[in-house]
Structure formats: C-alpha cells, structure tokens
Amino acid sequence: MGKNYGIILVPEGLIEFIPEMAILISEINELVSREFQGEIRDYVVKHLSYSSQALFNFLPQGISS
C-alpha cells in the first residue's frame, strides 16, 4: 500500500530504561530545577548536551513540549 506510518506502544516507565532517554530526562530535570527566564523549551534546548539536544529535537513536538 506504500503507507509509511504506524503506531508504537511504549509501556509507561519503560522509556526511562533507554540510556539516552534516561540522560535526557536527567538533564531536563536538572535544568528545570533552576530559575530561568523566557520560554521553557528554548531554555532547555539551549542548555542540553549535544547528544541530548539531538534526541530532544528528534522527538515529536507534542512529546517534547
């Protein structure tokens, strides 16, 4: 049929066991625990490590906002 879409179901909590996601979550938690000015998404993206930034930008907007 040539359709390039599908659905992936990930059980709640499982995502944290993916090492890259665990690092990203840890970095985000650290960043939002501090005071900051402006939009949270802009602040977070600007202060993530390079690899976490790439992963964050890869995620769909609905998940990463």
- pLDDT tens-digit series, residues 19-32: 999 999 999 999 99
65 pLDDT band, cuts 50/70/90, is: low
| Residues 24/55, Cβ–Cβ less than 8 Å | yes
Q: Has this prediction a pTM greater than 0.85? A: no
Tens digit of each residue's pLDDT (9 = 90 or more) over 30-52: 999 999 888 988 999 999 999 99
Backbone angles phi, psi at 26, to 5 degrees: -60, -45
